[in-house]
Amino acid sequence: MRRAVVVTVDGLRSDMISSEVTPNLCALAREAERFDNYRTVFPSCTRVVSASLATGCFPARHGLQGNSVALLEDRGLVLHDAGHPDFLQYKRRLTGRSLAVPTLAERLRDHGGAITLSNVSPGAAYAHDPDGHGYVYHRAGSFGPGRVRLRAEEHLDVTLDVAGDRRMTERFVGEVLEQRRPALAVLWLGETDHIQHEVALGSPEHRVVLGAADAHVGLVVDAVSRLRASGDDVILFVGSDHGHQTVEGVVDVEDELVSAGLKLGPASGDVVAASNGTAVLIYVHPDHAARLPDLRAFLEDRPWMGQIFGPDELAAVGQAGEACLAFAVSMRASDAANAFGVPGSSLAAKPALGKPDRLGCGQHGGLGKYEQSPFMMVSGPGFEAHSVRNEPAFVVDIAPTILAHLGLAWSNVDGRPLQAGLKRR
Ligand SMILES: [Zn+2]
């Protein structure tokens, strides 16, 4: 039986893999093909990456533009946290679509099915299958086909910590990989990201969590070895969705726009700056499009601005000037190291909705070198053990690679299959 298994260690940047802290990942790197030029999306945020992995498309096509976004409603632009459990359901009611293109769960509905276990934000978990074609398990609610809520005894009732990731992994191995045997099984570990938002990168607290996640990866790798020994033809992906940079300052972008007269007031619906950690998405209501040149001039002049992409430049970073998105800004970043010698620092955009601002801890979202350095290792047919591929590979390549392995069409995606010898079509 052909099967695909995807493990994401959320937020693990590639330079944090070491024989001392993550021996299982190092062992896997020797048995798999390692992609040393693996790229994520922009903003480099979990919900956006989840949707991009699930659809094989960049945000320009799947339409989930950020971890936080603005939606055009009757009262103007309204800021939303895409991590909210009901966000994609709300977006479907408002716009007609949750995601604008099919997910792997939809494509595999009649071809062996998909089961996802995720311990990150609910919105990121449900981005794998917002319309209920397969199974998604998350602590905020677990759903089966038809988006029917699963009964309490079937629900994934875990905490967002190492113990929760452990219980989720054990259930993934025993119940999903060995008993239910779907065509696609996705495991998304959450504590590796959560801890980096709470402590300094490279601190002892961070390293302990990394070691635990490495053990969880080891459980899956061992299970996949057993599946292969019993005759299953498994393609295994182990990687991350983004890295982290250290937050060296926090900027209240919305407040600056109001002060500059470019936004009417703190809660106004004319212009909305949606913080995405070390990036910010600026939305402009169509009635106020005349403000675009002044907004651009203002943003380009800010000392906190790193890179800016306007309406005609968004395609270069996988975004589109649709749904009122006018500018995507990556906050200023540098190679400066933190107290533990971990390089990479960034300014962050102050989050709305009363969320903590993470000064001195890890954050991501922008185009900084280390937040844009996830890792990816693949083993199975079409991938060479003990080898490194240096050509660029993208998160949107995962879906077509899975579809090709399963013998299915991979049309209408932005990515391409990564198996050696397969041509783009
Ligand atoms: Zn993440």
Query: Phi and psi (nearest 5°) for 82?
Result: -70, -5
Give the Å distance between the CA of 269 and the centre of ligand 1. Answer: 29
User: Can you tell me the distance from the alpha carbon of 372 to that of 93, in angstroms, rounded to the nearest whole number?
Assistant: 33
Give the Å distance between the CA of 260 and the centre of ligand 1. Answer: 33
Give the Å distance between the CA of 193 and the centre of ligand 1. Answer: 6
Give the Å distance between the CA of 74 and the centre of ligand 1. Answer: 32
End-to-end Cα separation, the chain, in angstroms:
25
Give the Å distance between the CA of 344 and the centre of ligand 1. Answer: 17
Give the Å distance between the CA of 121 and the centre of ligand 1. Answer: 9
Q: Which residue has the tokens 């601190």?
A: 203
pLDDT number for residue 423: 56
User: Can you tell me the distance from the alpha carbon of 14 to that of 36, in angstroms, rounded to the nearest whole number?
Assistant: 9
Question: Is 328's pLDDT higher than 70?
Answer: yes
User: Can you tell me the distance from the alpha carbon of 341 to that of 359, in angstroms, rounded to the nearest whole number?
Assistant: 17
Query: Phi and psi (nearest 5°) for 234?
Result: -105, 135
pLDDT number for residue 270: 98
Give the Å distance between the CA of 393 and the centre of ligand 1. Answer: 18
Average pLDDT, integer, range 113-119: 98
Average pLDDT, integer, range 192-210: 97
Give the Å distance between the CA of 64 and the centre of ligand 1. Answer: 15
pTM: 0.97
Average pLDDT, the chain: 96
Give the Å distance between the CA of 14 and the centre of ligand 1. Answer: 14
Give the Å distance between the CA of 287 and the centre of ligand 1. Answer: 35
Give the Å distance between the CA of 293 and the centre of ligand 1. Answer: 33
User: Can you tell me the distance from the alpha carbon of 166 to that of 163, in angstroms, rounded to the nearest whole number?
Assistant: 5
Cis ω for the linkage preceding 43 (within 30 of 0): yes
Give the Å distance between the CA of 361 and the centre of ligand 1. Answer: 15
Give the Å distance between the CA of 289 and the centre of ligand 1. Answer: 33
Q: What is the amino acid identity at position 3?
A: R
327-344: buried (b, 16+ CB within 10 Å) or exposed (e) per residue? bbbbbbbbeeebeeebbb
Higher-pLDDT residue of 425 and 224 is 224
The half-sphere exposure of 19 on its side-chain side, counting CA atoms within 13 A, is 2
Give the Å distance between the CA of 79 and the centre of ligand 1. Answer: 21
Give the Å distance between the CA of 412 and the centre of ligand 1. Answer: 25
pLDDT one-digit tens code per residue, 356-384:
778 999 999 999 999 999 999 999 999 99
User: Can you tell me the distance from the alpha carbon of 110 to that of 121, in angstroms, rounded to the nearest whole number?
Assistant: 28
pLDDT one-digit tens code per residue, 88-112:
999 999 999 999 999 999 999 999 9
> With the C-alpha atoms ordered 359, 364, 367, 370, is the resulting torsion angle positive or negative?
positive
CA 241 to centroid of chain Cα atoms: 5
Q: Which residue has the tokens 């407040």?
A: 255
pLDDT one-digit tens code per residue, 269-318:
999 999 999 999 999 999 999 999 999 999 999 999 999 999 999 999 99
Q: How confident is the model at residue 421 (pLDDT cuts 50, 70, 90)?
A: confident
Q: Judge whether 329 and 280 are in contact, CB under 8 Å.
A: yes
Give the Å distance between the CA of 292 and the centre of ligand 1. Answer: 31
Give the Å distance between the CA of 229 and the centre of ligand 1. Answer: 32
Give the Å distance between the CA of 3 and the centre of ligand 1. Answer: 25
Q: How far is CA 182 from CA 61, 148, 235, 288, in A?
A: 27, 18, 13, 49
Average pLDDT, integer, range 130-155: 98
User: Can you tell me the distance from the alpha carbon of 43 to that of 167, in angstroms, rounded to the nearest whole number?
Assistant: 30
Give the Å distance between the CA of 298 and the centre of ligand 1. Answer: 30
Cβ count within 10 A of residue 106: 19
Give the Å distance between the CA of 255 and the centre of ligand 1. Answer: 27
Give the Å distance between the CA of 47 and the centre of ligand 1. Answer: 7
Angle at CA 106, nearest 5°, toward 103 and 108? 110
Give the Å distance between the CA of 11 and the centre of ligand 1. Answer: 5
Average pLDDT, integer, range 390-398: 97
Give the Å distance between the CA of 186 and the centre of ligand 1. Answer: 14
